Amino acid sequence: MFHDRLADTARRIEAQFTRVLADLEPVPVVQAMGYATEGGKRLRAFLVLESARLHGVDPARAIWPATAIEALHAYSLVHDDLPCMDDDDLRRGRPTVHVKWNDGLAVLTGDALHSLAFELVSHPETGPPQVRAELALSLARASGAQGMVLGQALDMAAETAETALTLDQITALQAGKTGALIQWSACAGAHLAQADPAPLQRYAQAMGLAFQIADDILDVEGDAEKAGKRLNKDAQAGKATFVSLLGLEGAKSRATALVEQACAALSPYGTQAETLREAARFVIARDN
């Protein structure tokens, strides 16, 4: 069920990006926007569409914030991969944007995707003005200096810090770096329906942390070819990770406990939320 829905999400998001980008001038930056938004797991979009389904929201409305969060995620990857940031030349098994084009164009491509995310989220078809304003405000907070960028900044500071991060510090870092967008995605369905997002927020908090622990495990145990990116970078850089702090087995059991916690948070939705529970289990079972 989950894998079918995820595959369906991917198809719908690709189609929506194709439609949206077709309205823009066919200049290189727009071609790079298309390239940067191809592929990926589409987990964030899935969380938007699935939490919307749980609240009976028309998928024709939910596709807008679902595509928005994928645009925002894509911008963050394009900038993260830059030589002055993580310096990665491979992403989803293909050359990164700055390798295929150049650094300046990659900066602009990320910037354009960043603006596009806010255009999509506040698009009239997303819903009534109250919903669009709330989604734009919460997306801005989740992506900025109290959310994703804060996490990235803490990560950057950790690279030159003299002492390795503690477990609490890594948890705070990840709550920003990946947690904030995952939380926004899971809560989007409730916001679309103007319903209480609290249960989805608890689900996403636990699931987002499990996701990042799984990433650290994959970084050690994974197969670079399946992951489509270089692995073992953190360990080589001597950075503290959940694995270096908890040990491989400790990290695995912590991730499993978090997934159980995420599933339990969905009890108000009963069996309707089974696909979201499967998603939480997938997060620690994936190989990329």
Residues at the site binding a copy of itself, with contacts judged by CB under 8 A: 23-25, 27-30, 33, 75-76, 79, 82, 84-85, 102-108, 110-112, 114-119, 121-124, 128-130, 132-134, 136-137, 139-141, 143-147, 149-150, 152-154, 156-157
Nearer to a copy of itself, 20 or 251 (CB): 20
Minimum distance from residue 78 beta carbon to a copy of itself (Å): 10
Nearer to a copy of itself, 70 or 278 (CB): 70
Token duo for residue 253:
């059991």
Minimum distance from residue 230 beta carbon to a copy of itself (Å): 18
Minimum distance from residue 275 beta carbon to a copy of itself (Å): 30
Nearer to a copy of itself, 73 or 252 (CB): 73
Minimum distance from residue 140 beta carbon to a copy of itself (Å): 4
Nearer to a copy of itself, 176 or 208 (CB): 176
Residue 93 Ramachandran class (φ > 0 left, ψ -120 to 50 alpha, else beta) = left
Nearer to a copy of itself, 129 or 250 (CB): 129
Minimum distance from residue 144 beta carbon to a copy of itself (Å): 3
Minimum distance from residue 76 beta carbon to a copy of itself (Å): 8
Contact 204, 263 (CB under 8 A): no
Minimum distance from residue 183 beta carbon to a copy of itself (Å): 15
Rounded CA separation 198/51 (Å):
12
The residues, any chain, with a CB within 8 Å of residue 38's CB and separated by 6 or more, are 14, 17, 92
Nearer to a copy of itself, 175 or 213 (CB): 175
Q: What is the DSSP string of the chain?
A: -HHHHHHHHHHHHHHHHHHHHHTS---HHHHHHHHHTS-S--HHHHHHHHHHHHTT--HHHHHHHHHHHHHHHHHHHHHHTSTTTT--SEETTEE-HHHHS-HHHHHHHHHHHHHHHHHHHT-GGG-SHHHHHHHHHHHHHHHSTTTHHHHHHHHHHHHH-SSPPPHHHHHHHHIIIIIHHHHHHHHHHHHHTT---HHHHHHHHHHHHHHHHHHHHHHHH--HHHHTS--SHHHHTT---HHHHH-HHHHHHHHHHHHHHHHHHTGGGGGGGHHHHHHHHHHHH---
Nearer to a copy of itself, 139 or 279 (CB): 139
Minimum distance from residue 249 beta carbon to a copy of itself (Å): 33
